[in-house]
Structure 1
Amino acid sequence: MSDIKVISTENAPAAIGPYVQGKIVNGLLFASGQIPLVPATGAMVEGGIAEQARQALSNVKALVEAAGSDLSKVIKTTCFLKDINDFAAFNAVYAEFFNAPAPARSCVGGIDLPKGALCEIEVIAAV
């Protein structure tokens, strides 16, 4: 069995349940889904989908960097939107974080998310 390393950083929100922020296995980071919580306070960032997407993606970036990687090495993202009608606004912010070639991605809408968040993002990245 390969070594498994737990990733933890104060630059992303602490887990709000029985899980870790991320794990590295065989050179891949599996990051838990990030909602738009401000790491320093644990409170939801104020604003709509753009502000929440920016905070969630900033949290993802902090986790990826804590693992010793960067956003250019993100292989796959899974994005969850409370309202699929926010898809275009979400994409505009997402494009600020991921340059071409962007990661592979799935996006699911119309679901309830923890703490009433408008979005959640999880990633798999090379480290």
Structure 2
Amino acid sequence: MRFSGPRLIAISFLLLVSCTNNTNTTFHASHEERKKDAPFSDAVQVGNLFFLAGQVGIDGATRKLVAGGIQAETRQVCDNIVEVLAHHQMTTDNVVKCTVILADIKDFAAFNEVYKEYFPNKPARTTFAASGLAVGAKIEIECIAAR
């Protein structure tokens, strides 16, 4: 069975709610000073699970979307995820689930070439296309990691 859009969000919410029973929830401050006042957390910890916010291909040094198309953006997105995981003493080996949103499903094969370099353990994954990603991005990835 495939889930997308509102159903996927509802399922993710139910997973989060079910994990919070008798478990402490920690909303971690961002490791980046510029994001300290953002209206979201880079990572929310529920027990041993970490729910990472979606990342787009913005270079932290320039604060701009990287040039070069889907593969360059995918690489930057994955580097951003690696940085958030490292801040919490984890690696991509800790990732158990990814949700991937592509601006164009035709980019699936090109994205996958880069993605598999970062996630050799093959975490569970949902991939779908949607228009109108933040800052004109071609891709956004969010992850759930377990420690």
Using structure 2 for the length normalisation, give the TM-score. Answer: 0.78
1:74 aligns with 2:95: yes
Q: Which has the larger radius of gyration?
A: 2
Task: Tell me: higher relative CO, structure 1 or 2? Use CA pairs within 8 A at least 6 residues apart.
Answer: 1
Task: State the 1:8 CA deviation.
Answer: 1.9
Matched residue, 1:54: 75
The one-letter amino acid paired with 1:102 is K
Q: In structure 2, do the counterparts of structure 1 residues 83 and 17 end up closer, same or farther at CA, with 3 Å as the change threshold?
A: farther
| Superposition RMSD in Å | 2.0
SS in 2 for 1:63: helix
CA deviation map 1:72-99 (0-9, x unaligned): 1100000000000000000000011011
Percent of residue pairs bearing the same amino acid type:
36
**In structure 2, how many angstroms separate the alpha carbons of the residues matched to 1:9 and 1:88?**
32
For residues 1-127 of structure 1, the aligned pairs below 5 Å read 1-10=23-32, 14=35, 17-99=38-120, 101-127=121-147
Using structure 1 for the length normalisation, give the TM-score. Answer: 0.90
**Does the aligned pair in 1 maintain the 2:30–2:36 contact within 8 Å?**
no
CA deviation map 1:30-88 (0-9, x unaligned): 10000000112211111100000000011011111111111011000000000000000
Q: Which runs of 5+ in 1 are unaligned?
A: none
Q: Which runs of 5+ in 2 are unaligned?
A: 1-22
**If each structure's helix is expressed as a fraction of its own residues, which one has the higher value?**
2
Q: In structure 2, do the counterparts of structure 1 residues 16 and 32 end up closer, same or farther at CA, with 3 Å as the change threshold?
A: farther
Q: How many residues align?
A: 125
Task: State the 1:110 CA deviation.
Answer: 3.5
Higher alpha-carbon deviation: 19-28 or 89-98: 19-28
Deviating 4+ runs (over 2 angstroms) = 13-17
